Every structure is written in structure tokens, then in C-alpha cells.
Amino acid sequence: MNYAYLCTLIILLKQPPPFMKNFIYLIGITTILLLGCNSKTEEILQTRPNIVFIMSDDHAYQAISAYDNSLIETPNIDRIAKMGMLFTNASVTNSICAPSRAVILTGKHSHINGKIDNHFPFDTTNVTFPQILQKAGYQTAMFGKLHFGNNPKGFDQFKILPGQGAYYNPDFITKNEGEINVKGYVTDIITDMTLDWLKTERKPEDPFLLMYLHKAPHRSWLMAERHMEEFTNKTFPEPATLFDTYEGRPAAAEAEMSILNHLSWTSDDKIYPETINAMNAQELTIDEGRFENSVGRMNTGQLANFRAQYDKINADFKNNYLALNEEDKMRWRYQRYMQDYLGTIKSVDENVGRVLDYLEENKLMENTIIVYTSDQGFYLGEHGWFDKRLVYDESFKTPLLVAWPDKVKPGTTSDEMVQNLDFAQTFLDVAGVDQPSDMQGESLVPILTGKMEDWNREAVYYHYYEYPAEHMVNRHYAIITKEYKLIHYYFDLDYWELIDRLKDPKELTNEYDNPAYASIKEKLHKELEEVRKKYGDSDELNQKYINTFMDDVEKNGIFGVNKKKLEEIIEKRKTNKN
Ligand SMILES: [Ca+2]
């Protein structure tokens, strides 16, 4: 009996198909007993863990029942927390889609990996952790939304949505089949692709990295047909800060993320262009393009099911909306927003359940680390907002649930300040692969396995760049500890905010000029300078990124920005230069 045969037997023994189980088990045990185990076979027995990385797009932790069940029940996502650890202070370094993904893949802050905003494509000369894992013998696959402006490197298989992708009948860019169109609902399709890969392409002899990435619940929200009746008839509790007046926080006041004023009537609220035309009211604008790109993609059957529910909403809107006062208009739009946003999450939860079931049924749970996260959080009416970007908790924090049987104690919680910056090194650590010294995160394995003596982080760094752009959130950087946030808005506004996280968890008061916080302020300023130095960020880099962005905006324009405001910024920049 040769060595290769023995290896095959041992591998089969570890993950046997059910019908072969007893037979192989007997032969395997006999073989091992006859030949004994040398060091090479022991090495094979110590197989490296599989990694299943599940990420949704814009999934607020407020919409996961393991965190908070006042809006929705997510029993399947919650299974991961029950099996493992729920992080209550997990955050991102830059709360916006593609930059977050670049941080996750590179283990480097935005100012180092260069992907600071959604505007410019990702620099593919960056080394990513999937490339390293692939070289180390991992089988790698990615399905769903990447949102990078280019294709992923280091994957044996991928099927990704172009850009934001579509909810209905989406197109995919694939590694081996070119661009394809698939009929159906995007969350179901991404899951079908994932399960299909697990069933037919996964090599049982290799450990694998599977990135299963949902488009949902990204705007413009379109839920699966099967959830439309239930969710369009629900009423949700309002957040306490729905009517925030932004006192003492000028950047928040300038942000264009108001549910009342900045959602699209057609694509977000699903008010049909014909309804708006019939109402002939100045406050209602038609965004035909966005409507066409979302609802317009439905086929006849899908559209009939959609209209069966949304016709009633349009009738109610037409008959009642304009007579409401401003507060009630906000309430109406908040309910409309929540119904559709949470409706898309229902199918994410169902589909995560399908993948967990498969892993369980095929004995893949035991040696697999499963992560559920989002590329950042999202405002669900807090401060009157939808969207993300600002360093306030609902978008700065992100859900993070990690299961790893036998390694992570089931049902545990951690409030450590962990970030999306840490994923790359965590996965390399899990795989037993060297972590490149220029990565800037830290492995979360000590926290996961209860070795807290190896973890001592007390603050994290945040930096948001995309301005002037859609939603008009000023550029800002910040240091965040468990107790405080010190934030500098530096373009186009220039001022500081200090938030007392424990006293003011809703983040409504800027304490920066409050004398009671003088010594805390001083300490935080010092720590902020240290953390910027540690990560290699600086005012010079800020200026470099402003120049690159504004030079391009002045030449090519930018989508979704108020023309007058943009001209003001350009004019001010010229004056400052001279
Ligand atoms: Ca996102």
C-alpha cells in the first residue's frame, strides 16, 4: 500500500460520502493500525479550516435579531451567534461600499490601499488575502457583489455582479463563462451559485475560502415576490432620533440623507411615474432612470406580483400623502423605507439558512470558520436618515457574528473594538499562513479563542473621503474608543466634534467646546495624532486625495451633487490656492 493511497483514504475518512462511510472507515482504521501514522500523515490529519465569509451590503446591525429584534427576526443569521461570538463594537474604517471591500481584502486602511471612495477603481497591484490563501493551497471562490470596478484576483472561481448589480434577473461577470444573465431574484441566485459550487466544484482534499456576498439590502430596495404581501402590510417602530435637528453638528446638517427629502420617489418609495404625473405636485420628482433600472427589469409575472401589492400603496399615496403635515410625511416615508429594506433582508436570512443547512448536512461545520458581516452599517431612520458614511454608530459599526466550532465558545459576546481591517490577518492566522508585515489590522483569533492577554487595542481609526458627492457628507477622520469619539471634519467644513458614547449613545451632543471635557479632549487629540502616525495617515495625504478627486470632478463632473454647492467648493478651492 503506497503513501498516496493512504493519504486518499485518510482524506476520505475525514469527509466521507454517506454510502461509503462505514466501508471506508473500516478499511481506513485497519490501514492506519497496520502501518502506523508517520509525521506526514499526521500533517494531513491536521487539515486547515475552511473559511466561509458571508457579507451583505448595507445590512444594519439594528436589522439582525441577534442584536435587536424590534424590527425583524433573522433566525438563520442568529444561528451563527448561537454557535459562536457576537461582536457589539465591530466597525469599519471608512463607511462606504467599495472602500470597505478594499480594506477587507488588503488588510490596509483606505489611504494606504488607495481605494478611498467609490469614484476611482481599485488598484489591483495591491496584494489581497485570497491571493495569499490561494498560493498556500486554499481553493477559492467568490459569488455575488464585489463592487470594485474590476475583477477579483486570487480566485479559482467567481461569479460577480457588475457594479451595484440588479435585484431582478441580474447579469453576472463570470470567470469562465463571460457575462451571463440569470432569471430570478438576486439573493436566491447568488445562493444557488454558492451551493452549486459547494456541491460540484469544491475539492474535498483542499481547504477552501468561500466569499458569499449579497447585494441586498442595498438601495434601491426590491424584495423577493414571496415577501411583498407580508412586508408591505407591516408597521415598524420609529427610532427616537427620527426628527433630529442636528444642532451643534454642521456636517450632519449638510448631509443629504434625509428620508423625507432625499429618497427617490420612484425607485426607493415605489411610487409609479404615472402616479406622480397624475398628482401634478411640485414637491414630487420623477426619477425614471432609477425606476427603469430596478422595477423595469421585472418580467411580466414578477411585475404582476409586484403590482398586486404596490398598487394599493400608490392609491394610498395619491389620495392621502399631500394633505399630511411634514412630520407625518416623514413617518409615511419611514414606513415605506423600512418595509422594502427589511423585506430584502428576509430573503438574505432565508438564504443564509440554506447555506448553513448544507454545511451542517455535509459535515462541513466542524472544521469551518463562518463569518457574517456587512460592508458597513446603515441608518434606519436614526437622525432622520437612510444611507451611511458618517462616523456615528449606525454606519460606523457593522454586524459581526463568527462561528468556529470547538474554537469559539457558543453564545458568547465581545465588545472589543474590532474592525473590517482585521479580517485579512484573521483568516491568514486561521489558515496558519504568515501575515505580511505591511498589513495594518490584527488577527481576531485571540478574542475568538478567549486568549485576551494577546489583545490590547483600545482605539480605532476612521477616515471617510467621498465629498463632494451624492449625499454630501464632509470628509472626516476620527479616533474612537469605547467611551468617546473625536472627529475632525476637514473638507469642505473645518471643525471638531467630541461625542461621549456612554452618556450620549444617540450621539446628539457635540461636547467639543464644553469645558468639562477639556482634559479628555486633550488626551484624545494626542491619541489621535499617535494613531494617525501609526497607520501612516497625514494632512499631506488628505490634500493629495482632495486634489486627485477635485481635479477629476472639475474635468469630468460628478453625479448627484447640487450644481451651486459644487461651484462654491470649486471657487473656494481656487481662492485658497491663490
Ligand atoms: Ca455598502
From ligand 1's centre to the CA of 96, what distance in Å?
6
Asked if residue 372 and residue 314 are part of one domain, the reply reads no
Instruction: Please report whether residue 185 resides in a domain.
Output: yes
Assign 559 a pLDDT band (cuts: 50, 70, 90): confident
Instruction: Please report whether residue 457 resides in a domain.
Output: no
DSSP bridge pairs for 54: 212, 372
From ligand 1's centre to the CA of 247, what distance in Å?
27
From ligand 1's centre to the CA of 292, what distance in Å?
22
Q: Which residue range(s) make up the domain with 229?
A: 225-338
Using CB atoms within 10 Å of the CB of residue 91, give its burial: 0 to 12 exposed, 13 to 18 middle, 19+ buried.
buried
Stretch 283-293: mean pLDDT = 92
Q: Where are the beta strands (DSSP E) in 412-468?
A: 412-414, 459-464
Assign 574 a pLDDT band (cuts: 50, 70, 90): confident
Asked if residue 205 and residue 82 are part of one domain, the reply reads yes
Pick the closest to residue 93 from 80, 103, 85 (CA basis). 103
Percent of the chain with pLDDT over 70: 92
pLDDT of residue 37: 44
Asked if residue 229 and residue 216 are part of one domain, the reply reads no
Assign 150 a pLDDT band (cuts: 50, 70, 90): confident
- Which of 338, 355, 373 represents a domain boundary (last residue)? 338
Asked if residue 197 and residue 116 are part of one domain, the reply reads yes
Instruction: Please report whether residue 456 resides in a domain.
Output: no
CA 25 to chain CA mean position, Å: 42
Distances (CA, A) of 458 to 51, 90, 152, 482, 527: 27, 13, 33, 8, 10
pLDDT digits (tens, 9 = 90+) for 240-264: 999 999 999 999 999 999 999 999 9
Instruction: Confirm if 444 and 371 have CB atoms less than 8 A apart.
Output: no
- Which residues, other chains included, contact 451 with Cβ-Cβ below 8 Å and sequence gap of 6+? 445
From ligand 1's centre to the CA of 136, what distance in Å?
30
From ligand 1's centre to the CA of 217, what distance in Å?
9
d(CA 269, CA 332) in angstroms, rounded, equals 10
pLDDT of residue 168: 98
Pick the closest to residue 355 from 160, 15, 156, 80 (CA basis). 80
From ligand 1's centre to the CA of 388, what distance in Å?
8
From ligand 1's centre to the CA of 501, what distance in Å?
24
From ligand 1's centre to the CA of 444, what distance in Å?
22
pLDDT of residue 26: 45
pLDDT of residue 578: 65
pLDDT of residue 4: 41
- Which of 431, 451, 471 represents a domain boundary (last residue)? 451
From ligand 1's centre to the CA of 376, what distance in Å?
6
From ligand 1's centre to the CA of 56, what distance in Å?
8
From ligand 1's centre to the CA of 336, what distance in Å?
20
- Which residues, other chains included, contact 385 with Cβ-Cβ below 8 Å and sequence gap of 6+? 255, 257, 258, 259, 379
Distances (CA, A) of 573 to 256, 342, 469, 491, 569: 22, 42, 16, 10, 6
Asked if residue 304 and residue 171 are part of one domain, the reply reads no
pLDDT of 482 > 90? The answer is yes
More confident residue, 314 or 287: 314
From ligand 1's centre to the CA of 218, what distance in Å?
7
d(CA 374, CA 367) in angstroms, rounded, equals 23
d(CA 211, CA 129) in angstroms, rounded, equals 12
Asked if residue 473 and residue 437 are part of one domain, the reply reads no
Q: Residue 317's CB: how many other CB atoms inside 10 A?
A: 22
**Omega into 551 within 30° of 0, i.e. cis?**
no
Instruction: Confirm if 421 and 415 have CB atoms less than 8 A apart.
Output: no
d(CA 55, CA 485) in angstroms, rounded, equals 26
pLDDT of 39 > 60? The answer is no
From ligand 1's centre to the CA of 100, what distance in Å?
8
Instruction: Confirm if 99 and 117 have CB atoms less than 8 A apart.
Output: yes
pLDDT digits (tens, 9 = 90+) for 229-239: 999 999 999 99
Stretch 263-269: mean pLDDT = 97
Stretch 452-479: mean pLDDT = 97
Asked if residue 56 and residue 35 are part of one domain, the reply reads no
From ligand 1's centre to the CA of 446, what distance in Å?
28
Asked if residue 531 and residue 475 are part of one domain, the reply reads yes
Mean pLDDT of the chain: 93
Backbone CA torsion sign across 298, 276, 216, 413: negative
More confident residue, 34 or 513: 513
pLDDT of 15 > 80? The answer is no
From ligand 1's centre to the CA of 101, what distance in Å?
9
Assign 196 a pLDDT band (cuts: 50, 70, 90): very high
Instruction: Please report whether residue 495 resides in a domain.
Output: yes
From ligand 1's centre to the CA of 566, what distance in Å?
25
From ligand 1's centre to the CA of 572, what distance in Å?
31
Asked if residue 250 and residue 177 are part of one domain, the reply reads no
From ligand 1's centre to the CA of 377, what distance in Å?
8
Pick the closest to residue 99 from 559, 545, 550, 551 (CA basis). 545
DSSP bridge pairs for 401: 86, 372
**Omega into 399 within 30° of 0, i.e. cis?**
no
From ligand 1's centre to the CA of 97, what distance in Å?
4
Instruction: Please report whether residue 458 resides in a domain.
Output: no
Stretch 78-88: mean pLDDT = 98
Instruction: Provide the domain count of the chain.
Output: 4
CATH number at residue 80: 3.40.720.10
pLDDT of residue 7: 40
pLDDT of residue 306: 98
From ligand 1's centre to the CA of 58, what distance in Å?
4
Asked if residue 520 and residue 480 are part of one domain, the reply reads yes
Instruction: Please report whether residue 435 resides in a domain.
Output: yes
pLDDT of residue 36: 44
From ligand 1's centre to the CA of 375, what distance in Å?
5
- Which of 306, 338, 370 represents a domain boundary (last residue)? 338
From ligand 1's centre to the CA of 99, what distance in Å?
9
Distances (CA, A) of 225 to 299, 474, 563: 12, 38, 38
From ligand 1's centre to the CA of 192, what distance in Å?
22
From ligand 1's centre to the CA of 417, what distance in Å?
20
From ligand 1's centre to the CA of 514, what distance in Å?
35
pLDDT of residue 212: 98
Asked if residue 40 and residue 58 are part of one domain, the reply reads no
pLDDT digits (tens, 9 = 90+) for 382-432: 999 999 999 999 999 999 999 999 999 999 999 999 999 999 999 999 999
Assign 20 a pLDDT band (cuts: 50, 70, 90): very low
Instruction: Please report whether residue 491 resides in a domain.
Output: yes
Asked if residue 209 and residue 104 are part of one domain, the reply reads yes
Q: Residue 516's CB: how many other CB atoms inside 10 A?
A: 9
Instruction: Please report whether residue 35 resides in a domain.
Output: yes
pLDDT of residue 319: 98
pLDDT of 577 > 80? The answer is no
From ligand 1's centre to the CA of 105, what distance in Å?
15
From ligand 1's centre to the CA of 510, what distance in Å?
27
More confident residue, 402 or 118: 402
pLDDT of residue 521: 98
